[in-house]
Structure 1
Amino acid sequence: MKFLKSACMALVMLLTFAACSKSTDKPATVSIEGIWTGKYGTGNNKPSSFYSFNIKANGVIEELDANGAVKGKGTWKLDNNKILMANYNYLPPANTEYSVIGAFNPQEGRILGNWGYGESVTDGGSWEMTKK
């Protein structure tokens, strides 16, 4: 009986100690691929208009409208796992070309950037997105 009591006390102490130990898990990170939603602004205006991308693993990027329909398509790359660069065109009949650059933060699941017309990434405005 004395052995059983000692064994139970040891087990309780072990469980208590284990429950109080610090976690060494790394924070979860978000992949760049997937659906991203947020807002864009024109010029120096704060982002306030709907903006969304479907960033695909094969280097294809699509701009999506608020209903999820594709309205533009192009290519993207990630430089040093931190900077998203993309160039895309609206689908016909518009065919307008846009370029974007953004700082990708995988720990926060967020991208902050600038957009522009044609190959410029600075003459349009700013944008921000989080992963859906």
Structure 2
Amino acid sequence: MKKIVYILGIIIVLGFCYFYVNLIFFDSWTRYSAEKEINNYISNHDTKKLKEISANNKTYQLLKHTKHVTIKGDTDNQGGGHIGYFTSTINGKEGALFVHLNFGLFPEIPKVTKLEVFDKNIYE
């Protein structure tokens, strides 16, 4: 009986640890997964997908003519529900990343829905 209680206690503690680690690192993991997905499109020269996720022509041209994308998070998730919105620095330029999120006990890999590099001239 003691052994069963001990094993259940360990399972509960591990469950809480998994929950908190997932909660703390979810935003970083989402940006990493998005960066990996976009770099996969770039390395495979999948211009159709690059055009599909680009919010404007400037973003598409940046993705089309680069060999690697680096996404640095400026904020945590600003979206709601199943839509994730991250203001980010994309290859040194200000931009936004939109992803489709699926939450659950084991969250699925987020899918990039839109990537936008902001045009500085609009705001000046």
TM-score, normalization: structure 1? Answer: 0.35
Bigger helix share? 2
Bigger strand share? 1
